[in-house]
């Protein structure tokens, strides 16, 4: 990681804070925002608020302030007891200046929002921001499925597909903070569908929550399948019908699994990990997803040293919170 630039936070913040040992962590997802309080790597309190991601980030900050103040009050803490804030965000993030660089249909005013100034003015806390897949990777690496590993790829299968990479015990960041983050936008079909990012045939454009309804409707036998009568064409329905041996559902599911496998194989070829950690809402169906992906990857990936293990995240719901806590403590300790 690059050196923390001057001005992002004052090392003399809150003089007399020698006793501060807590961290506040915020994980901004597309549908919910998780807020946690950690003490010595233990998550001692957490709460959630409904995200209004389509309305932007700035309009959400007053509710975050109220929620955090209430959490401090409940735990009989004051601002002086907190070391800093870890801010996990679903978009591209400059983790040196701690600002949002780019969004994709969520919190689109993020790049114009001064998060560091917000936390400093409100509580006199330093704020450290990072992409949410990287935060989840840090959490799983330090406390979860990736403990003891030095080379990991994290893949979150949810509304979109988030990815992050650890090589030799260091997060892959890149010149413009996007290295390893755009695995969901690796091209797996150059003649495929236009993606929300503007590219063509991305993994997300071939298999994701937003793509699924059109994927089903494009199947030539869709109108003959009972899934046609479902009000909501989501992955829950797809898995249900595929398990009942509905041919349309089974073929669309296999298409999705092949697209995810293609994206993961490209990540394996690019980043040489020892393990892939899978997380995200779709892992509720991990009993179907994991063995199917493992089979495809074992067959297709070029790894003469052995097989890359696919594992389920240990903390699918809170890895980003643990990661954000680790980031706050690590940045304050090392200053970089």
For residues 136 and 205, which CB has a smaller minimum distance to Zn ion in the complex?
205
Q: Which stretch binds Zn ion (CB under 5 A): 121-129, 193-201, 293-301, 321-329?
A: 193-201
For residues 67 and 199, which CB has a smaller minimum distance to Zn ion in the complex?
199
Q: Which stretch binds Zn ion (CB under 5 A): 120-128, 155-163, 179-187, 237-245?
A: 179-187
Tell me the closest approach of the beta carbon of residue 94 to Zn ion, in angstroms.
21
Binding to Zn ion by CB under 5 A, coded x per residue (else -) over 137-176, reads: ----------------------------------------
Q: For the chain, how big is the Rg over CA atoms in Å?
A: 21
Tell me the closest approach of the beta carbon of residue 112 to Zn ion, in angstroms.
23
- Is 165 in a helix, a strand, or coil? strand
For every residue of 20-76, DSSP letters joined together read: --EEEEEEE-SSEEEEEEEETTEEEEEEEEE--GGG-SGGGHHHHHHHHHHHHHHTT
Question: To which H or E segment does residue 229 belong?
Answer: none
Q: Which stretch binds Zn ion (CB under 5 A): 132-140, 195-203, 249-257, 319-327?
A: 195-203
CA distance 129 to 25: 10
Answer for the pair 134, 323: CB distance below 8 angstroms, yes or no. yes
Tell me the closest approach of the beta carbon of residue 106 to Zn ion, in angstroms.
14
Residue ranges in 9-68 that form contacts with Zn ion under rule CB under 5 A: none
By the rule CB under 5 A, 113 interacts with Zn ion: no
Tell me the closest approach of the beta carbon of residue 185 to Zn ion, in angstroms.
4
Q: Which stretch binds Zn ion (CB under 5 A): 6-14, 44-52, 196-204, 255-263?
A: 196-204
Residue ranges in 198-217 that form contacts with Zn ion under rule CB under 5 A: 199, 202
For residues 204 and 325, which CB has a smaller minimum distance to Zn ion in the complex?
204
Answer for the pair 192, 207: CB distance below 8 angstroms, yes or no. no
Q: Which stretch binds Zn ion (CB under 5 A): 17-25, 37-45, 79-87, 185-193?
A: 185-193
For residues 192 and 213, which CB has a smaller minimum distance to Zn ion in the complex?
192
Binding to Zn ion by CB under 5 A, coded x per residue (else -) over 253-282, reads: ------------------------------
For every residue of 180-218, DSSP letters joined together read: TT-GGGSBS-TTSPBPTTS-BSBHHHHSSTTTHHHHHHT
Helices (H), the chain: 61-74, 115-123, 132-143, 203-206, 212-217, 235-243, 247-271, 286-300, 319-334
Among 197, 250, 290, 292, binds Zn ion (CB under 5 A): 197
Give the distance between the most distant pair of CA atoms in the chain.
71
Tell me the closest approach of the beta carbon of residue 289 to Zn ion, in angstroms.
21
- Is 305 in a helix, a strand, or coil? coil
For residues 197 and 301, which CB has a smaller minimum distance to Zn ion in the complex?
197
CA distance 7 to 115: 13
How many residues bind to Zn ion according to rule CB under 5 A? 5
Q: Please, how many CA atoms are within 13 Å of residue 300, restricted to the half-sphere of its CB? A: 17
For residues 185 and 219, which CB has a smaller minimum distance to Zn ion in the complex?
185
Tell me the closest approach of the beta carbon of residue 104 to Zn ion, in angstroms.
8
Which is it for strands 82-89 and 22-28: parallel, antiparallel or unpaired?
A: parallel
Among 143, 185, 296, 331, binds Zn ion (CB under 5 A): 185
For residues 91 and 144, which CB has a smaller minimum distance to Zn ion in the complex?
91
CA distance 310 to 267: 13
DSSP state letter for 5: P
Binding interface with Zn ion (CB under 5 A): 185, 195, 197, 199, 202
């Amino acid at each position: 990681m690059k050196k923390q630039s001057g001005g992002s936070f004052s090392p003399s913040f809150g003089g007399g804070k020698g006793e501060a040992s807590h961290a506040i962590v915020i994980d901004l997802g597309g549908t919910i925002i998780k807020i946690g309080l950690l003490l010595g790597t233990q998550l001692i309190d957490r709460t959630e608020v409904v995200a209004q991601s389509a309305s932007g980030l700035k309009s959400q900050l007053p509710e975050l302030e109220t929620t955090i103040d209430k959490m401090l009050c409940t735990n009989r803490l004051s601002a002086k007891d907190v070391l800093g804030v870890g801010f996990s965000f679903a978009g591209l993030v400059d983790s040196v200046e701690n600002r949002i660089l780019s969004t994709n249909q969520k919190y689109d005013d993020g790049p114009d929002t001064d998060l560091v100034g917000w936390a400093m003015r409100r509580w006199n806390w330093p704020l450290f921001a990072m992409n949410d897949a990287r935060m989840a990777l840090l959490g799983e690496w330090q406390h979860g499925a990736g403990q003891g590993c030095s080379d990991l790829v994290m893949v979150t299968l949810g509304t979109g597909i988030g990815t992050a990479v650890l090589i030799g015990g260091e997060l892959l960041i890149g010149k413009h903070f996007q290295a390893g983050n755009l695995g969901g936008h690796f091209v797996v079909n150059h003649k495929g569908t236009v993606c929300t990012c503007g590219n063509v045939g991305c993994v997300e454009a071939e298999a994701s929550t937003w793509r699924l309804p059109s994927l089903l409707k494009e199947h030539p036998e869709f109108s003959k399948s009972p899934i046609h009568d479902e009000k909501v064409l989501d992955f829950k329905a797809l898995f249900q019908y595929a398990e009942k041996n509905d041919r349309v559902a089974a073929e669309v599911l296999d298409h999705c699994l092949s697209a995810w496998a293609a994206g993961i194989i490209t990540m394996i070829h690019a980043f040489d990990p020892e393990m892939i950690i899978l997380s995200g809402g779709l892992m509720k169906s991990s009993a179907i997803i994991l063995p199917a992906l493992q089979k495809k990857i074992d067959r297709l990936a070029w790894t003469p040293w052995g097989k890359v293990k696919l594992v389920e995240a240990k903390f699918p719901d809170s890895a980003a919170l643990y990661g954000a806590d680790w980031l706050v403590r690590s940045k304050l300790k090392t200053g970089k």
